[in-house]
Amino acid sequence: MSRVLITGSSDGLGLGAARLLAHQHHDVVLHARNRARASDALAALPEAVDVLVGDFTTIAGMRQVVEAANALGRFDAVIHNAAVGSSESRPIMTSDGMSHVFAVNVLAPYLLTSEIEMPRRLVYLSSGMHRGGNARLDDLQWERRRWSGPQAYSDSKLFVAVLAAAVARRYPDVLSNAVDPGWVATKMGGPGAPDDLAQGSVTQAWLAVSDDPDALVSGAFFYHQHRSEAHGSMHDDRFQDELLAACAGICGAALPGAGQGG
């Protein structure tokens, strides 16, 4: 039996993965951005052990989740599922001066990875759209570029795949992988999404707990329990280090071992 934390699990893919794991008798800890959504999450999955509350649009909210997670002790796995989509028609800036998309999709998983006691397995939700991401770090908050919601989303999902690979390289004892759940009919994906919603949660749950040899790998990109081709920058060591340094500069949390190379 494993203890698994799933961020952004009050509904959608995160709640779907939580249900799969709870029904397999694993201890599941949920996460929601506020107390109202936390209550909804526990009502939807009363088998959950607990639900952590913290708004990932702020660094303070991210650290609120870190503190609560560490108080519970080391997890066997963390699934970094929380994300916002590509539909923002203008750059929404957080109170910390970050792009909303970057804060939730990139900085939150980075900061949690840096400050939560390192689990045995890490799963990062990326997207097939990451292949259209730009491997550039000079304008992370979209202060100079003309805003594009889809591009900001693609970039963020590239960065989170790069984060997964960076952790795999730096922590050989940790299984760290990225997942494309498919384009599924969640609130973020929209009602017309063509992929199988039930399948959308399977791979991350499988990577979090399975002893299947195919799941006991690290630094890979998965789609429906199969390894899939990823953007070339995912395994660019220099770009990994540059992304880690950029995130550390924003939030003040250095990934342990960052800057030391492989």
Q: What residues are labeled active site?
A: 153, 157
Count of beta carbons in the 10 Å neighbourhood of residue 121: 22
3-state secondary structure at position 48? coil
DSSP of 59-89: HHHHHHHHHHHHHT---SEEEE-----S--S
Q: Which H or E element spans position 106? A: none
Integer CA distances (angstroms), 19 to 10, 42, 47, 64, in order: 11, 11, 9, 24
Separation between Cα atoms, residue 113 and residue 230, nearest integer Å: 21
